[in-house]
Structure 1
Amino acid sequence: MPKPEYVVGLVLVGCVLLTWFCGNLYKHLLEAYEQTGTLTDSEYSWVFRLLLNLVGYSTILLPGFLLYKYLKKSNYFDKIANTGRVYKVLYACFGDHAERLPETTKLPKVEESSHTESMELAFCFTGLMGAYLVWGLLQEKIMTQNYVMPDGSLVRFDDSQFLVFINRLLAFIIAVTHLLYTRQPLVMAPLYKFSYCSLTNIISAWCQYEALKYVSFPTQVLSKSCKVIPVMLMGKLVSRNKYSAYEYVTAMLISVGMVLFMFGSHDDYAVSAATSASGLCLLALYMACDSFTATWQAALFRAHPLRPPHMMAAVNLCSAALAAAALAHRAAAPRTLLLQHPVFLADCLVLSASSALGQLLIYRTIARFGAVVFTIIMTLRQAVSILVSCAVYGHAVSPRGALGVALVFAAVLLRLHCRRRAARTN
């Protein structure tokens, strides 16, 4: 019988060859798409770009899945001694037994902050408001405004996948730096378990950026208030959760408010039924994927001794790898713009930094003050984002659209009030 090390070596070579084959298939499909004007100029070209992205992701996901199935079926980790770099890498990616992780996985004690609770709350509030206001404005600028190149030509950035990659890469670097600085272990759970929410995370982020080509930023921000509906559905399907009457009522009010706003805005985006349909489909896909991401991350927190930086590092590592696979054979236009236009480079860096800072502050706020306080802060942030975007970029909203905005946020605040009352009575 051949040694398990040799067998897994052959399997790894096979995975590399499969990655090469999938990569070449993706390259040819991408070239065919770019050369077909009918597809690139279509109102629904985002569908083909999304399918191409999924083929790009498969260059990592498919070989990884086959390697995972082999390791589990052959009981590789039970047959091989805990030695060698290959074993450690494979165990970090696919090992299941937490007790076999290195002894350094014991979590260090966290010292309490010396600030008062009020100062801490003020810090979290201002940090979240500032980080996500900057992120929202730059997101809209990058996806909707033209950049003047050195030769005087105007270029509009349109590669959402590249923006997702830059965001996830910087967030991963920040999370790993934090873990190293605090001397916490880097791996607390098998990395393959993060691939599920990483896939939905980058799809939702891609849809979020892509939707700005079809709908206004206020419409996109307001749609996030409707995430309560897919979250409830996901909770019903995945976790068998039960909800109170007020939760169904407020979810319905949010939906009505969103419809009023969508049909009460007067942006140039709504120039055709196809454009509006594309924007709605992208927003719906964004909310569905984002809801699954949050549900799966909550399950991982319950199953493993994770802290927020561990989740942030693992998810962003997998997301950056998947996005890089989808970008491997793309044209160099985004990178050329990144290198030749200092303003675009600065916008990307600040956008990514504000997104990463926002993630850290989200986890900190929830850990210190609970989900209710965090939701109130983010609701206020969404309202301010809409007002700032309307003021900066001149989005027009009719009285009916303004009524829709007011109805959505009133429903969210009513939901928070009812939840707090229910918590007090229990």
Structure 2
Amino acid sequence: MQKRIKFFGSALGIFVCYFYYGILQERITRGKYGGKNGEEEEKFVYALSLVLVQCVINFIFARLMLSYIMPQGEDTTKSVYYSLSALMYFLAMVASNMALQWVNYPTQVVAKSCKPIPVMVLGVLIGRKSYIWRKYLFVILIVLGVTLFMLKEGKSRATSENGLGVGELLLLSSLMMDGLLGAIQERMKAEHETRSGHMMLGLNKWSTLYLSVAVIATGEIVEFWKFVGRHPAVLWQLGSLAAAGAFGQYFILFVVSEFGPLPSSIVTTTRKFFTVLGSVILFGNTLVLREWAGTTLVFTGLFLDALYGKSPSKKK
């Protein structure tokens, strides 16, 4: 009974943290600020600064977790792996956050749920892995669902020559970075047995370094602080977003360490579906029947993969 209470408590923590995270992310990136007393309305367009805040909070949280809550011993992983994985990690996050300026949150969630696709492709091409046939079937379901969801009935106001909008291209770039990140992390686990806490700490440390250079080099840090000065309420939203993300990661790590990766996969897959529903209800992101069908296919594929597609891969 005590173990069940821990599991359902942790699952509830994941649901609450990431549901709140999704609401805040859409409110920050798609909301309008100002407009009172003759002020001109403006949008939050500082994707680099948004990710930087999250990485700083995640780094502090990981350090505290390793020091006081979940010690994981000495880390022997090479710094070059952390630096490369962090580069892919922050590029993926920046691209997906920037995409929200052109697509709504349900589209981002459904597209980002397709991480198994680039991870599998790069695992076969780079890692020389083979997968059980069920895995391919589930991935095909995910691909069909995303294709159905992202088909356009009319012309987008930000459509490129090949028919894909700016938001969709950014999401595809983000997925490619996710695939490269997965390939690097596989090497880290195989060569150094890198633990989850160390990976969280290293990723966020190097990402913070990259992003600090980026916001200074582009001058975004100056514009970001001017925006905060004009709209100080956004600072509380950013802090709440980062805190929700950090606690959400902690609950996921707790479920993995206490109950294994399979229950964690089922919980996180289910919460993504409810995040889409929450975005539809709270922000009026209405979906047509075709998009609901695509969403159902995506999460069916993900759920079946969580249940039946996790057999250890074999080397060719």
Which residue identity does 2:48 align to in structure 1? Q
Correspondence for 1:51 = none
- The yes-or-no answer on 1:260 pairing with 2:145 is no
Task: Give the structure-2-normalised TM-score.
Answer: 0.88
Conservation of the 8 A alpha-carbon contact between 2:262 and 2:307: no
1:178 has 2:68 as partner? no
Does structure 2 conserve the Cα–Cα contact (< 8 Å) formed by 1:264 and 1:397? no
SS in 2 for 1:239: coil
Q: How does 1:37-56 map to 2 (within 5 A)?
A: none
CA contact (8 A) 1:339 1:345 kept: no
**Cα offset, 1:303, TM superposition:** 2.7
Equivalent pair of 1:264/1:401 in contact (CA under 8 Å): no
**Which residue of 309, 320, 328 corresponds with 2:197?**
309
1:148 and 2:34 equivalent? Answer: yes
The one of 176, 191, 195 equivalent to 2:79 is: 191
Say yes or no: does 1:216 pair with 2:104. yes
Residue 264 of structure 1, CA deviation: 6.5
Check whether the contact 1:170–1:356 (CA below 8 A) recurs between aligned residues.
Answer: yes
Distance 1:174 1:272, change over 3 A: closer
Q: How big is the alpha-carbon RMSD for the aligned residues of Structure 1 and Structure 2? A: 2.5
Which residue number corresponds to residue 226 of structure 1?
114
Which consecutive residues of structure 1, in runs of 5 or more, have no partner in the other structure? 1-114
Displacement of 1:321: 0.4
Q: Which residue of 2 aligns with 1:36?
A: none
TM-superposed deviation, 1:396? 1.9
Deviations along 1:260-300, one digit per CA (max 9) or x if unpaired, are 1123789xx93343384322221111111112223322432
Q: Which has the higher relative contact order, 1 or 2, with Cα contacts under 8 A spaced 6 or more apart? A: 2
2:133 aligns to what? 245
* Structure-to-structure mapping, 1:13-412, within 5 angstroms: 116-148=2-34, 152-181=39-68, 188-263=76-151, 270-274=156-160, 276-304=164-192, 306-329=194-217, 330-331=219-220, 332-412=222-302
**Moved segments of 4+, more than 6 Å:** 183-186
Distance in 2 between residues matched to 1:394 and 1:293, nearest whole Å: 33
Give the letter aligned to residue 404 of structure 1.
G
Q: Deviations over 1:64-121 (max 9, x none)?
A: xxxxxxxxxxxxxxxxxxxxxxxxxxxxxxxxxxxxxxxxxxxxxxxxxxx8321221
Q: Tell me the secondary structure at the aligned position of residue 348 of structure 1.
A: helix
What percent of counterpart residues are identical?
26
Q: 1:214 to 1:372 in 2, by over 3 A?
A: same
**Deviation digits for residues 35-92 of structure 1 (CA, Å, limit 9, x no counterpart):** xxxxxxxxxxxxxxxxxxxxxxxxxxxxxxxxxxxxxxxxxxxxxxxxxxxxxxxxxx
DSSP-derived class of the 2:93 partner:
helix
- Give the secondary structure class of the aligned counterpart of 2:33: strand
Q: Distance in 2 between matches of 1:217 and 1:184?
A: 35
Contact 1:254 1:411 in 2 (8 A): yes
- List gaps (5 residues or longer) in structure 2: none
1:367–1:270 Cα change, 3 Å: farther
Distance 1:294 1:364, change over 3 A: farther
**Which has more radius of gyration?**
1
How many residue pairs get aligned? The number is 306
TM superposition score normalised by structure 1: 0.66
- 1:307 Cα deviation after fit: 3.1
